[in-house]
Amino acid sequence: MLLNELKKKEQMLNLLIGRIKSKQTKVGGHIRTTRKNGRTYFMYTGPDGKERYLRTDENEIAREIFQEEYNTKILNSAQRQLAAAQRIIHLLESEDLCDIYSKTHDSRRQLITPFIDPTDDFVRKWLAKPYEGKGFAEGDPVFIGPKGERMRSKSECLIADLLIRLGIPYRYEYPINVKGYGLIYADFLVLNVRTREEFILEHFGMLDKPEYTDSMCRKLNTFAGGGIFPGRNLMISCESSTRPINLNALEKMLTEFCLSEG
């Protein structure tokens, strides 16, 4: 996420710098502020070098000079921040900590215990982590996902197919301990391989049923109470009897969360 946030910061700073430069003017002169008898006065020094009081009907001169001073300060600060952000972005993009171990000669690598697992090893261990899912009641419909796991709906099978096609590792109905609530089962826990961040993907498939919608609200409120928020660490897909799941929209969301550089 750090790299992603820095790139957003870089974009914001470039836009800000462009806006400031488009408003730049050269007023000339400067103002010092003085107080006398409890009142504030502006002492203006113009291009001729002579200082005089600004009358109250000359506040536009003060406004232009103060604006110019502010613009210069914020421009300089934004340019410094932009340069710093770009240096860190370059460093993060050019140096992958995992590569240090991966690029070590095999004869040496066999004798090293890495602090950070290579990506392939990390993903393999992540997928192999044992857990007990939610389980099924007798008589529940049977749907089989692409990895042979039993799922609760055809839409969940379609989501699993999409995750595999995109190369996004997932755990189905993984138990999560939500602070202040306890155990809750996420429909999918997915992994951004590049950043090694985990995200929850919840699919709500019967939104036209009031009792199901009530259950959805309870689950989302539970997530929020535990610090799990849509757009941050939670993705949501949904459908109803008249609005099927939109896999194209879901793919875009998954790409943003799970395939970004972070």
pLDDT, position 96: 82
DSSP string for 56-114: GGGHHHHHHHHHHHHHHHHHHHHHHHHHHHHHHHHHHHH--HHHHHHTS-HHHHTT---
pLDDT, position 48: 86
Lowest mean pLDDT among 36-40, 52-56, 122-126, 177-181: 177-181
The closest alpha carbon to 32, from 21, 22, 40, belongs to: 40
The closest alpha carbon to 101, from 86, 115, 83, belongs to: 115
Q: Where are the domains of the chain?
A: 2-95, 130-258
pLDDT, position 262: 55
Residue 29 has pLDDT above 90, yes or no: no
HSE value, Cβ hemisphere, 13 Å, CA-based, for 125:
8
Instruction: Tell me the three state secondary structure of residue 162.
Output: helix
Query: Over the chain, what is the mean pLDDT?
Result: 91
Q: What percent of the chain has pLDDT over 70?
A: 99
